A = this chain, B = another copy of it.
């Protein structure tokens, strides 16, 4: 496996693979790889001849009060993991590489930004100002650096997944976004690097997120047609965790990400939530198709 630290080296590496007629997949990550990431990598290895995994803790997608500094980083561990899986290239650039002007004190800024309108108005976007602007901007840069035919993302970051699909279609990127289902611990908790922040009691109670997601799925598949009734089913499930503080629980259209009052037969909706355990913020969600009869 090649370890590439600069944009120029990564672009040359990608061009050389493309010149050999290989198809390329990119799996963008923040590192601190867990089983959830490995599911993305395995999917990429299935779908393409050549797989690049990027490891970059992107400062512009963390808000002022968020955990940018504390976010776990272990490049050497990640390198060993990816190498053992048969990944072709690991792209681990510095912040200066990814934000060249911000790093240039003689000529700081201005920066280019990529945004997708409206899709960040609800769910996490309502609480994490600028987060999705940071994501769409850095993913655009990663696509330009790594030149993939497909980009592989986890559906656990559901709002991100919907926004990135729109980004690619709207900006005419010649690539496809592939979404991989959420990987869960045996008790249902969605895998996340942030699970490591939980103390034992919080870890035990954190299973209510999956229970709430399941409650929403069952309500919708059982014929519930009121968006607010589905939200109440999620909220009820979350009350089983006394230390949990719910930031949001919403049911939105899976394409517009706008709240749904009345679920329509055949409509794809997203039931999603964010919950705090102490300072640790966890998310979970499910895409559900409303039954047609």
Q: Which of A's residues lie within 8 Å of B, judged by CB?
A: 7, 11, 15, 18-19, 21, 98-101, 107, 109-119, 136-137, 140-141, 144-145, 147, 166-167, 169-174, 255-256
Which single member of B98, B100, B112, B119 contacts A114 (CB below 8 Å)? B112
B112 touches A116 (CB 8 A): yes
A170 touches B101 (CB 8 A): yes
B167 touches A112 (CB 8 A): yes
A7 cross-chain contacts in B, Cβ below 8 A:
172
A166 cross-chain contacts in B, Cβ below 8 A:
101, 110, 112
A100 touches B144 (CB 8 A): no
A145 cross-chain contacts in B, Cβ below 8 A:
172, 174
- Residue of chain B at shortest CB distance from A107: B255
Query: How far apart are A122's CB and chain B's nearest CB, in angstroms?
Result: 12
Per the bound structure, the CA–CA distance linking A257 and B231 in Å amounts to 50
A101-B166, A170-B100 known; A117+B111 contact, CB < 8 A: yes
Per the bound structure, the CA–CA distance linking A101 and B167 in Å amounts to 11
Per the bound structure, the CA–CA distance linking A21 and B110 in Å amounts to 35
- Residue of chain B at shortest CB distance from A140: B171
A170 touches B111 (CB 8 A): yes
- Residue of chain B at shortest CB distance from A14: B174
A112 cross-chain contacts in B, Cβ below 8 A:
114-117, 136, 166-167, 170-171
A116 cross-chain contacts in B, Cβ below 8 A:
110-113
A136 cross-chain contacts in B, Cβ below 8 A:
112
A11 cross-chain contacts in B, Cβ below 8 A:
174
A18 cross-chain contacts in B, Cβ below 8 A:
18
Per the bound structure, the CA–CA distance linking A115 and B114 in Å amounts to 6
